[in-house]
Each structure stands twice: as structure tokens, then as C-alpha cells.
């Protein structure tokens, strides 16, 4: 009985934090689960689920971790953020120990030495995307870069252009900026995506109008890892003389990006997605032909007047070092990620009633989004306290709403709710992947055993034919 | 232009890399740097000219300094062990 209670209390939001806190104090998930069950009140247990001692044994079996090992979860949420590479930290430390000059002070050597480091970083970042260093503007992160592009360009050209095109599966900061622009009187077209998550190029071309100021399409999706045909989109935009912005926070350093070959006019980069420090990013703004935009932050006129404010030398040079490493090691890292990702995908899809979300071919291998039918994603995440995962974007993981990205692919609520995103990165080991496959397999099976829906599926009842009462 | 490093010098440098990589307290960093050092020295076998070898050797010497400092920092700031990591460092499952 206790184990069943544990399961239901895990799924109940009311004791969520209790469960989490207890997990930190105790060494195994078994303890955490049973401890919560013991303290759970009757309110938390709405149903009287019949239980057997077999089920209790199953819980213990399913949630068992090796007591001889540690308790810190495996990190598999590389789309949210990546660990800071020690080599990046090494670069950054000198700015906290000796190089403290203001990079904009040009009257003394303290300023010159930090300025020199910033320019080195700028070059490393420019090299990563095939740009000129003068075209790189440092910002506080990809969200600021995206805001700058979506708001800045249409505002500058607002006398003649009144239209913006973007995609339904874009990151929240793009969609929200676009919403703001609608309030300012701009029209926004949100392109649909197919079941594979890709946009239709003909639809894009048809949506372009004479007064279109900007097209914004992300390169790699943060939830499903689908790669949009950026080069083709660039060609279309060039032909129609429309500015093309691409949010490449998840793409830079992972897939080859070249702003000239792909005809990208504005491009957002984030440092902490490429093993750099958090709190810094950049936007590439093309100089020839010149792209003009209204700055959001004005002041001292730093960064070509597009982003005023003193630069953070430590963060920027860490960002630059991260860019240099990921540029040099792209092939090596990607080989590793591809191998582990294939192993993970094969292992997870070997479970019955699972499916990979998004295109199977046009995808970045480091992002694997899988749906486990008849299991609720959040309860699976609760049962997987020993693996750090997310059911979608970190920005929206606080709400229990299903992912709008999966909705845009045409997934129904049930499927969107049962999806989990796995991120593989430079520092992921094969041992971790083996552990994850084993843990997921065991716990999905365990949770399904508890589900009455699963029983019906096993008996061959089509769930769509059932008429549910009480709706 | 100095002369290319001898085989003994390269092997000694490789050992230094592995020694410092193993000293990382962080499981992921430790495994990455062991793997990276091994693969980097393996791929270095294909280097032909003296200049190439000398350049790679000099670069590796600088990287070793970074590794030494960072493995020390990793030992200064340690966190709980991962669920795949044995609490007792020596035991292998």
C-alpha cells in the first residue's frame, strides 16, 4: 500500500517540494518515496487504489539505486544549459585576480589589456560563424539578442515596413517579442510546421510581402532538436530583399554555421549553451549590406552604439574561449555526441509505444525528444530523481502546461504530456547513457503497470473509442 | 626553430596529461579529459614534419598548465558523487 501511495503522492503537485527536499536528505529514491508516503495526508490521496505486496516489491525494484554510489543526478539537460568547461574557467579567472581594468578606458594599460582580450574573444566568436569581428555585438544572452533583432529592425524601418514573419515553434523570447510588436501596430505571421517540425518553404515565400521587415527562423529547435533549412530560407529572404534573423543559440558550435553562405543578416548566440559562462551572449549584425536597428539599451555608445554599457571582460573572454574550443573540437565532440545519442535513441525506442518527436533526419543528435505513451511525463520525471531531465524548455518547465512546440507538430495533449527531452553533450559518458536507458526502461514499465489505461491497451481496447464520463 | 621533441618527451607529456586528468574530482570532467588526452595523442601519431610535431608539443605544454590548475580547482571545490560514481573511489562495479 505504501508504495502505491508514494506513487500517487509523487504525481500530486501538493507534496512535490516535500518529495524533492526529502530526496536530498536521504540517499536513495526508495527512502524518499516511502518517507513521503508516510507523511502524506488523506487529501493527497484522492483514490483508493487496491494494492498488492507485488506492487510494493516492484516499487522497490524499480527505484533501486546502487547504495555504494553517490546520489547526485546525472545531468542530461544540455539544452537548458551546459557545464562550464574548466578551460573556460581558467581563462576567466585571470579577470577576477588581476585584469580588472575597464575595457573602455583607453588612457591606461589596465584598459588596454582587457580590451585586447575582448577583441580576441570577438574574433573567436566571429570565426565560429564565418563573420567579421566588427559584426559581433555582445549582449547579456540570446534572449536579449533576440529581443534586439525582433524589436530593433522593424522599429527602425517602421515608416515603410509593418510586417514580421516567424514560426510557431520558436523560443518563447521570440514569440513574446513578436507579440509586443503586434501591440505596436506591426502584423506578425506565425508559420506552421509539419509533423516533422520543419517549415514549408513555399509557405514562407508566399507569406513575404512588400512591407515585410524581418523573417526570423531558428536553426536548431531547443525542444525537439529539429534543424530548419536555414540556407534555403536565407536564399529566399535574399531574393525578396528581406532581412533574415536566425536564433542560433542551440546551433552554434554544434552544426556548421556560416552567415555568408547561409545569407543570415542577424544571428543570436548564447555563451552558456556552448560550455561558456552564463550571463553573456552575442548578436551578429551584418555590415555589408548594412542592417540597421533601433537599440534597446542606449547610453555610452559602446558596441557600435547598438548596446551601450560596460562590457564584462571575464564573461566575454570566457565566451570567446568556449567558442574557440567548440570551433576547434566540433568534429571530435559531434562524433562523441552522435555515438551516444544513437545508443540512447535506440535504447529508448526499443520500449514499446514510444516515439521520437520531430524529424528523424533533419535533427541535431544531441537533442532527443521521446514520447512514452500511457505515462505522464511529469510523473516519470518525478520517478527519475537520479537523472536531471526536462519535459521541454526550462523557461516553461515551472508550469504544467504541455509543450506548445509539440502542439505545433500536431501532437495531442496526451502525447505532449508524456514527452521527455534528453540532451547529450561533450561531458556525457557512455556509462551515464547506459544507466539512463536502464532506469527509464524499468520505470516506464513500472508506471505503466500502475496505469489502468495500459491494462486496456494490453487487452487491445482502442482508447479513442472509450466514452469518458465526467468531462 | 628548435628541434622536434623526442618520443620519450612526448610519452612523458602524455603521462602528465593522464595523471592530471585522473586527479579531477568531477566525474564528467575527469572522464572527458582522459578521453580527450588519449585521442589527441593518438591522432598526433600521424604528424609527419618536425614543425608540426614541435607546434603540437608546444601547444600541448600550454594546455597541460591549464589542466594542472583546473584539476587542482576541481579538488578544492568538490560536490556530491554522481549516481554512476562509486563513493569509494577505488571500487569498480
Residue B58's domain comprises: 7-76
Partners of A281 in the β-ladder: A139, A270
Q: Average pLDDT, stretch A354-380?
A: 91
pLDDT score recorded for residue B90? 54
Judge if A376 and A431 occupy the same domain. Answer: yes
Q: What is the pLDDT of residue A398?
A: 58
- d(Cα A350, Cα A105) in Å, to the nearest integer? 60
Is A353 within 8 Å of A324 (Cβ atoms)?
Answer: no
Query: In 3-state terms, what secondary structure has residue A270?
Result: strand
Q: Measure CB to CB from residue B83 to each of A72, A89, A429 and give the nearest one.
A: A72
Provide the shortest C-alpha distance from residue A169 to chain B (in Å).
32
Count how many domains chain B has.
Answer: 1
Looking at residues A431-452, what average pLDDT do you find? 93
With residue A284 as reference, give the H or E element that holds it. strand A281-285
3-state secondary structure of A363: strand
* Cell numbers for A156: 527602425
Task: Find the domain containing A115 and state its range.
Answer: 86-328
Quick check: A66 and B93 CB within 8 A?
A: yes
- Distance (Å, rounded) from C-alpha A7 to C-alpha A447? 9
The whole-number average pLDDT for the span A170-182 is: 96
Instruction: Inform me whether the pLDDT recorded for A112 exceeds 80.
Output: yes
Chain A positions touching B88 (Cβ under 8 A) are 68
Asked if residue A193 lies in contact with residue A204, where contact means CB atoms within 8 angstroms, the answer is: no
**ipTM of this model?**
0.93
Per-residue pLDDT, B77: 94
As a whole number, mean pLDDT of residues A338-363 equals 95
> What is the model's pLDDT at position A41?
40
Q: Is the pLDDT of residue A236 over 90?
A: yes
pLDDT at A47: 44
Residue A309 lies in a domain: yes
Share of chain A above pLDDT 90, in %: 72
**Integer Cα distance of A130 and A327 in angstroms:** 11
For residue B14, being part of any structural domain is answered with: yes
**pLDDT in the model for residue A66:** 82
Asked if A113 and A67 sit in the same domain, the reply is no
CB-side exposure of A67: number of CA atoms within 13 Å? Answer: 3
Residue A84 has pLDDT above 50, yes or no: yes
Known active-site residue A395: yes
Tally the domains of chain A: 2
Q: What is the pLDDT of residues B54-90, one digit of tens each?
A: 999 999 999 999 999 999 999 999 899 999 999 876 5
| Per-residue CA distances from A378 to A18, A20, A447 (Å) | 16, 13, 12
From the number of C-beta atoms within 10 Å of its C-beta (0-12, 13-18, 19+), residue A453 rates as middle
User: What's A293's domain CATH number?
Assistant: 3.40.640.10
B70/A89 CB distance under 8 A = yes
Indicate whether A256 and A144 sit together in one domain. Answer: yes
Domain termination residue (choose one: A291, A312, A328): A328
Assigned domain for B90 exists: no
Task: Give the domain-ending residue among A299, A328, A357.
Answer: A328
pLDDT on residue A298: 94
Q: Give the count of beta carbons closer than 10 Å to the beta carbon of residue A331.
A: 9
Q: Is residue A60 part of a domain?
A: yes
Q: Using one digit for the tens of pLDDT, what is the confidence trace for A385-423? A: 899 998 876 655 556 678 899 999 998 888 888 889 999
A173, A248, A367, A395: the catalytic one is: A395
Lowest mean per-residue pLDDT among A65-79, A111-125, A318-332, A389-403 = A389-403
Q: Which residue bears the cell 534572449?
A: A143
Average pLDDT, chain A: 87
Report how far apart, in Å, the C-alpha atoms of A143 and of each of A34, A171, A283, B85 are.
Answer: 41, 9, 10, 36
pLDDT of residue A261: 97
Query: Strand, helix or coil at A321?
Result: helix
| Cβ-based contacts of A426 with chain B (< 8 Å) | 32
- Please judge whether A68 and B86 are an interchain contact, meaning their C-beta atoms are less than 8 angstroms apart: yes
- Cα–Cα dist A221/A79, whole Å: 9
pLDDT at B29 over 60: yes
Q: What is the CA radius of gyration of chain A?
A: 24
Using an 8 Å CB-CB cutoff, list residues of chain B that contact chain A.
24, 27-29, 31-33, 35-36, 39, 63, 66-67, 69-71, 73-74, 79-88, 91, 93
Amino acid at each position: 500500500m505504501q508504495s502505491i501511495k508514494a506513487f500517487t503522492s509523487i504525481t500530486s503537485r501538493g507534496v512535490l517540494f516535500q518529495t524533492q527536499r526529502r530526496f536530498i536528505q536521504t540517499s536513495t529514491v526508495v527512502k524518499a518515496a516511502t518517507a513521503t508516503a508516510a507523511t502524506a495526508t488523506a487529501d493527497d490521496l484522492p483514490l483508493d487504489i487496491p494494492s498488492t505486496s507485488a506492487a510494493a516489491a516492484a516499487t522497490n525494484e524499480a527505484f533501486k539505486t546502487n547504495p555504494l554510489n553517490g546520489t547526485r543526478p546525472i545531468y542530461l539537460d544540455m539544452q537548458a544549459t551546459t557545464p562550464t568547461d574548466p578551460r573556460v574557467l581558467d581563462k576567466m579567472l585571470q579577470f577576477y585576480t588581476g585584469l580588472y581594468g575597464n575595457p573602455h578606458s583607453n588612457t591606461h594599460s589596465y584598459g588596454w589589456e582587457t580590451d585586447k582580450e575582448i577583441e580576441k574573444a570577438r574574433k573567436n566568436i566571429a570565426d565560429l560563424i564565418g563573420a567579421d569581428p566588427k559584426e559581433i555585438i555582445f549582449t547579456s544572452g540570446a534572449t536579449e539578442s533576440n529581443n534586439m533583432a525582433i524589436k530593433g529592425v522593424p522599429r527602425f524601418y517602421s515608416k515603410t515596413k509593418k510586417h514580421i514573419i516567424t514560426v510557431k515553434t520558436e523560443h518563447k523570447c521570440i514569440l513574446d517579442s513578436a507579440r509586443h510588436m503586434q501591440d505596436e501596430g506591426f502584423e506578425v505571421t506565425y508559420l506552421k510546421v509539419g509533423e516533422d517540425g520543419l517549415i514549408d518553404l513555399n509557405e514562407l515565400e508566399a507569406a513575404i510581402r512588400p512591407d515585410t521587415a524581418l523573417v526570423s527562423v531558428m536553426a536548431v529547435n531547443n525542444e525537439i532538436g529539429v534543424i530548419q533549412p536555414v540556407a534555403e530560407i536565407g536564399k529566399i529572404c535574399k531574393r525578396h530583399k528581406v532581412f533574415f534573423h536566425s536564433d542560433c543559440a542551440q546551433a552554434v558550435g554544434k552544426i556548421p554555421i556560416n552567415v555568408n553562405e547561409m545569407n543570415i543578416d542577424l544571428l543570436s548566440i548564447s555563451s552558456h549553451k556552448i560550455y561558456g559562462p552564463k550571463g553573456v551572449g552575442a548578436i551578429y549584425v551584418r555590415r555589408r549590406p548594412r542592417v540597421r536597428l533601433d537599440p534597446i539599451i542606449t547610453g555610452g555608445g559602446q558596441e557600435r552604439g547598438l548596446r551601450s554599457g560596460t562590457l564584462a571582460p571575464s564573461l566575454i573572454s570566457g565566451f570567446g574561449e568556449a567558442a574557440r574550443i567548440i570551433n576547434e573540437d566540433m568534429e571530435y565532440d559531434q562524433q562523441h555526441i552522435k555515438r551516444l545519442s544513437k545508443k540512447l535513441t535506440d535504447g529508448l525506442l526499443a520500449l514499446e509505444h514510444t516515439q521520437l518527436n520531430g524529424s528523424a533526419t533533419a535533427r541535431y543528435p544531441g537533442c532527443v525528444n521521446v514520447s512514452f505513451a500511457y505515462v505522464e511525463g511529469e510523473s516519470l520525471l518525478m520517478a527519475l530523481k537520479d537523472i536531471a531531465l526536462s519535459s521541454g524548455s526550462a523557461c516553461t518547465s515551472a508550469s504544467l502546461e504541455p509543450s506548445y512546440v509539440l502542439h505545433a507538430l500536431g501532437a495531442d495533449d496526451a502525447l505532449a504530456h508524456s514527452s521527455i527531452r534528453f540532451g547529450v553533450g561533450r561531458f556525457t559518458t557512455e556509462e551515464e547513457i547506459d544507466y539512463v536507458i536502464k532506469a527509464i526502461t524499468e520505470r516506464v514499465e513500472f508506471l505503466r503497470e500502475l496505469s489502468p489505461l495500459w491494462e486496456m491497451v494490453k487487452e487491445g481496447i482502442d482508447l479513442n473509442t472509450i466514452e469518458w464520463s465526467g468531462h | 626553430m628548435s628541434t622536434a621533441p623526442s618520443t620519450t618527451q612526448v610519452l612523458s607529456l602524455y603521462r602528465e596529461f593522464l595523471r592530471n586528468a585522473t586527479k579531477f574530482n568531477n566525474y564528467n570532467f575527469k572522464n572527458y579529459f582522459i578521453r580527450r588526452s588519449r585521442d589527441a595523442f593518438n591522432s598526433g601519431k600521424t604528424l609527419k614534419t618536425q614543425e608540426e610535431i614541435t607546434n603540437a608539443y608546444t601547444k600541448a605544454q600550454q594546455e597541460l598548465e591549464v589542466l594542472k590548475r583546473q584539476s587542482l580547482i576541481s579538488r578544492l571545490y568538490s560536490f556530491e558523487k554522481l549516481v554512476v560514481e562509486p563513493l569509494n573511489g577505488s571500487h569498480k562495479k
